[in-house]
Amino acid sequence: MKKKSIVASTLQVSIALFFIKILGVLKQALIAAICGATAETDAYFVATGVTVALCSVIFSSVSISLLSMHTERLIVRGRESSNNLINAVLRVFIPISIGIALFFAVCAPVVAKFLAPSYLGEQLQTLASYIRTMSVMFVFTCYYLIVNVVLETDKRFLPGKGQSFLQNLFICVAAVAFYPRFGMPALIYAFLLAGFVQCIQITWNARHEFRFVPKVDSESTAVRRLLQLAFPLLVGNAIYEINDIVDKQIATGLGHGNVSFLSYGASINEIVTTLIIQSVSTVLFSHYTTWVAEGEYEKVGDNLKKSIEYLVVLIMPVMVMCFVCGDCIVDILYGRGNFDSSAVTMTTSVVFGYAAGFLFQATRANLVRVYYAFQNTKTPMINGAISIAVNVTLSILLSEVIGVGGIALATSIAMLLVTVLLLPGVKNYIPEFSLRSSLTEYVKAVSIAIVIGIVAYCLRKLISFGTLVSFIIIGVFTVLTYMGAAYLLRIRAIQVIVWHILSRVKRR
């Protein structure tokens, strides 16, 4: 099994995700400009968003549980045995994915009515048609997530990000070249084509580590163990994804365009969660499973503490930018074509709501990986059940008061709760784990961000330049001032980053 440093792997994933998200932002900007925020775009976002969420719920639970089993199998028994395990899992879950796809294809009208109770007539039929077409994504997702386990065990993380790249690329082309003639179905079919191509790509990337075998030795015990691990995780993931489904349900009741506002705002939230949070948690989880399999539990605790500390420090200036210049960000990305000023205002409220939960998303993403590495999938499931109850209640209440932005804020509050609930349980596996030594770092980072945020807000009121120039000025001021103040106050994460940069410069 290949060895790569956490920093090197995380940097590779972050760079790749950066370009993928740039393309993703371009995709959303094109959809906003060309398609606007209409009943038809609402149906598109509901169909694609819910389908992708359900695919993730079902099959990421399998892949996450399988990663720890596959890592242990590879270390203890070798490549041939681990390859047999992957083949056996594919033989079980591909037929299951086909059955799920057929269910959604046949029951699309019922599913559509459940997802959007306020839809009637043509709009409901349109949503049902999109869901029926998207149903084949269950098969594509099942295959590529299972095969990708082989690559992530070997600390090869980039191929698994190919689907997002292909989806963004194909949808951009479809929006520009085919939407004027074929409408939203062009984007739906582009989505499916990306899923199919990703399956081919992941097979090619794994060709040296994974091969199909005509006869598989019995893995019934391992598959049963996988199902036992995956089921609580599936329920837990379902709970979190139900948050998204409920959010869209509530948004459909606020009038046409609100689902689109929520989706456009969520795409900005995903820039942060993908570039900073997902890249770190993806790499760390693979290392966690290896360390647990090798009995090196102290490494898990040390790296968990460092990762949370670094994420908090890095996210603070991003939060400042979202709160001070959220409208500028939305206007720059989407404010053209059919996306008018009222749409910018509504989407900005969503950005504010999600930004409030950045820190909690970062912490939770790393905490749950520890539970999964120790093959505990029940605790996150229970905590998630509490989270969804809070989210549903607050989404309904806050959306009535502050509109679609309240839905995003409710999600952030629910994320805070589940993070608090997850923290104590980590000590059951790593008794030495504690965040107390990082408390000073958190206080310094938050204090700097608050002061800079107030100054940046006042500066924003004083300058009278255009949207783009104002954003650049505030952005440069925020980042440089934050970095400088953090370095002077000896925040460890910033000092390490600066040290790595200077070391590389000197070597050159």
Q: What pLDDT is stored for residue 451 in this prediction?
A: 94
DSSP states along 387-442: HHHHHHHHHHHHHHHHTHHHHHHHHHHHHHHHHHHHTTTHHHH-TT--SGGGHHHH
CA distance 82 to 456: 54
Q: What pLDDT is stored for residue 454 in this prediction?
A: 93
What sign does the dihedral 362-365-368-374 (CA atoms) show?
negative
Burial of 220 (0-12, 13-18, 19+ CB in 10 A): exposed
What lies within 8 Å, CB to CB, of 354 at 6+ separation is: 265, 266, 268, 269, 408, 411, 412
Residue 429: inside a domain = yes
CB distance 25 to 189 below 8 Å: no
Q: What residues make up the domain containing 274?
A: 6-507
CA distance 43 to 122: 11
Q: What pLDDT is stored for residue 138 in this prediction?
A: 94
Cα distances (angstroms) measured from residue 315 to each of 114, 271, 363, 439, 442? 36, 12, 11, 16, 11
Residue 1: inside a domain = no
Residue 86: inside a domain = yes
Structure tokens at 282: 């993806």
Can you tell me which residue has the tokens 């997702």? 141
CA distance 209 to 148: 11
Alpha helices by DSSP H, listed for 107-161, are: 108-115, 121-134, 137-153
Residue 488: inside a domain = yes
CA distance 406 to 398: 5
Q: What pLDDT is stored for residue 197 in this prediction?
A: 92
Residue 393 CB: number of other CB atoms within 10 A? 12
CA distance 409 to 391: 9
Q: What pLDDT is stored for residue 2 in this prediction?
A: 44
Task: Look at residues 179, 334, 356, 164 and name the one whose alpha carbon lies nearest to residue 261.
Answer: 334
CA distance 415 to 350: 16
Structure tokens at 254: 């606020």
Q: What pLDDT is stored for residue 504 in this prediction?
A: 62
Structure tokens at 344: 């910018």
Q: What pLDDT is stored for residue 99 in this prediction?
A: 95
CA distance 250 to 429: 39
Residue 55: inside a domain = yes
Give this prediction's pTM. Answer: 0.65
Residue 465: inside a domain = yes
Note the pLDDT tens digit of each residue in 259-269. Answer: 888 888 887 77
Structure tokens at 152: 């992530």
Q: How many domains does the chain have?
A: 1
CA distance 14 to 131: 32
Residue 181: inside a domain = yes
In the predicted model, residues of the chain with pLDDT beneath 70 are 1-17, 157, 161-163, 233, 236-243, 273-289, 500-508
What lies within 8 Å, CB to CB, of 169 at 6+ separation is: 23, 194
Residue 84: inside a domain = yes
CA distance 429 to 288: 12
SS3 212: coil
